Amino acid sequence: MSARPAAPLLPGATLGVLGGGQLGRMFVHAAQAMGYFTAVLDADPDSPAGRVSHHHVRTGYEDPAGLAELARLSDAITTEFENVPAASLAALAALRPVSPAASAVAVAQNRAEEKAHFVGCGVPCAPYAVIETAAQLAAVPAELLPGILKTARMGYDGKGQVRVQSAAELSAAWQSVGQVPCVLEKMLPLALECSVIVARGADGACVHLPVQRNLHRDGILAVTEVYEQNMPPALAHQAVAAAKSIAEELQYVGVLCVEFFVLDDGSLVVNEIAPRPHNSGHYSQNACDVSQFELQVRTMAGLPLTPPRQHSAAVMLNLLGDLWFAQGEAEQTPPWAAVLALPGTHLHLYGKREAKPGRKMGHLNITAPSAEAARATALQAAALLGLEPF
Ligand code: ATP
Ligand code: MG
């Protein structure tokens, strides 16, 4: 079945999503706001998206009966979780329009294929080597060290990554990840990190959100800043053009996030793609006239895509479970009332039952008329929450 519904699916139809995490929850909220019904597939009865959806199919991603039930309930299906087995997406695609396509998700699931795709698009990525065998390990060129060994599959938030200085450390690191297929990337001198969200329809129309400047701490996104001059405009244009060509070459339908590095020498290098809305695009909920989640709804429903317009300068602070333990061992609710007393603060919590260090619990969007004002308020909020200044 084609990824494109024959006619736009109008409000009143049911939109299905694979995965019940926070991205699914915010998708469900956006779909429901527009008058759609929603169906979520996630085995966890307490999943953030399952708990707010009209329908919740409580099975694993590979359960044939669960997938059939999701297809029965839904008029079109998308994913919020990039490690959904490609076979499950392919099985659903035989029954209902699915976007993004299994083939595009499969590229994003495997760092080796992803990098080959970047090379095919003519977009530079970090120098790398694929390591699947002991022979390939032994043949790694010395100029890739120091480097980062990344498992080809299933990495997120810096998990499945080991920084290595020498051939001996590389060999030990490959042992430590169980000799699974990996890529070794050269460690690059990063001046800054940024990302671009693009949304592409089945008709080929492609729109984008403004370029996001991202700060990571311990391999996890901490802060996103989006306003004029958040990075050199020429680089921002280059990033948007590269993101669009990556989506185009994949014949991508849906919302795609492309992460980039800007190196000390001012050059732009693509890092990785996520075949779904992304943490770095959350500011769009409050700072743009169309959010990344509404774009996901529009692409899967075959509705028109209009160029998003950012109307406020924005800073997003990620709220990890650590904040609940900022005062020591005992869990404490962060000072939401004090934070919300600041102008232009928008609190988004994902309804997770338990706070744990490193767990994404929510985010705070700060909007303001100017970059200076957004940053000043964000720094005040960060101080109240016990987050490092940036
Ligand atoms: P996520 O999916 O949450 O974005 P991930 O686990 O897939 O993360 P990457 O995006 O590959 O991980 O890397 C996480 C962070 O580690 C990057 O944002 C960057 O700060 C740093 N990093 C990754 N690769 C390199 C590199 N080649 N050189 C320098 N720093 C790097
Ligand atoms: Mg990343």
Domain with residue 335: its CATH number is 3.30.470.20
What sign for the dihedral angle of Cα 57, 59, 63, 65?
negative
Q: What is the residue range of 153's domain?
A: 127-186
CA nearest ligand 1 atom 3, residue: 157
Ligand 1 near 126 CB (within 6 A): yes
Distance separating alpha carbons of residues 282 and 251, to the nearest angstrom: 24
Task: Identify whether residues 306 and 263 lie together within a single domain.
Answer: yes
Of how many residues is the chain composed?
390
Residue with tokens 């290098």, as numbered in its chain? 269
pLDDT at 159: 74
Which tens digit of pLDDT belongs to each residue from 43-78? 999 999 999 999 999 999 999 999 999 999 999 999
Tokens of 257: 């996030």
Task: Identify whether residues 92 and 170 lie together within a single domain.
Answer: no
Ligand 1 near 263 CB (within 6 A): no
Looking at 136, 166, 186, which one is the last position of a domain?
186
Task: Identify whether residues 137 and 76 lie together within a single domain.
Answer: no
**Residue 249 alpha carbon to ligand 1 centre in Å:** 23
Distance separating alpha carbons of residues 264 and 5, to the nearest angstrom: 45
Task: Identify whether residues 296 and 239 lie together within a single domain.
Answer: yes
113 belongs to a structural domain? no
Q: Which of 22, 118, 161 to mutate to test the pocket of ligand 1 (most atoms within 8 A of CB)?
A: 161
Which tens digit of pLDDT belongs to each residue from 102-129? 999 999 999 999 999 999 999 999 999 9
Ligand 1 near 192 CB (within 6 A): no
- Mean pLDDT across 302-321: 97
DSSP reduced 3-state for 390: coil
Q: Are 158 and 101 a contacting pair, CB within 8 Å?
A: no
**Residue 258 alpha carbon to ligand 2 centre in Å:** 9
Task: Identify whether residues 21 and 136 lie together within a single domain.
Answer: no
CA nearest ligand 1 atom 13, residue: 158
Residue 3 has pLDDT above 60, yes or no: no
pLDDT at 82: 83
- Mean pLDDT across 161-182: 95
Which atom of ligand 1 lies closest to the CA of 155? 6
Ligand 1 near 219 CB (within 6 A): yes
Distance separating alpha carbons of residues 253 and 141, to the nearest angstrom: 37
Using the CB atoms, write b or e for 128-149: b if 16+ within 10 Å: bbbbeeeeebeebeeebbebbb
pLDDT at 86: 82
Task: Identify whether residues 47 and 180 lie together within a single domain.
Answer: no
Ligand 1 near 193 CB (within 6 A): yes
- Mean pLDDT across 81-100: 93
Q: Which of 110, 264, 267, 271 to mutate to test the pocket of ligand 1 (most atoms within 8 A of CB)?
A: 271
